[in-house]
Amino acid sequence: SSIGDTKLLVMLKGFLNNLGLDDALFSDECLIEIYDVANSSYGLNSDEPYPVKIAFEKIANHLNRKKTLDKNSYYFYVLKKHGVVG
């Protein structure tokens, strides 16, 4: 993986840790896929602040059973595909 990917993964794992999640649950591929989905779903012209951070907040809420993700959402699909959720 490139240096860019390494820096990105450190940042993404930082988001997870700040949200009280164990980054060991998530493979690097899973994190990058979530990052790509978050960025593509908002587009570059959005006023939405930090779409990736919001994505991880939604995922954290789901994993902490606070507010579940829609089973049809792309984030849920990614988590299921990578074995984070059953």
Q: Over the stretch 4-18, which tens digit does the pLDDT of each residue have?
A: 889 999 999 998 999
How far is the CA of 20 from the CAs of 24, 39, 46, 74, in angstroms?
12, 23, 27, 22
pLDDT category of residue 31 using cuts at 50, 70 and 90: very high
Burial (CB < 10 A; 0-12, 13-18, 19+), residue 44, is: exposed
Determine how many CB atoms are found less than 10 A away from the CB of residue 50: 12
Per-residue pLDDT at 42 exceeds 70: no
Mean per-residue pLDDT of the chain: 87
Better-predicted residue by pLDDT, 68 or 51: 68
pLDDT category of residue 40 using cuts at 50, 70 and 90: confident
Tokens of residue 50, six digits: 């930090």
Cβ contacts of 47-51, under 8 Å, gap ≥ 24: none
Percentage of residues in the chain having pLDDT higher than 70: 88
Q: Which amino acid is at 67?
A: K
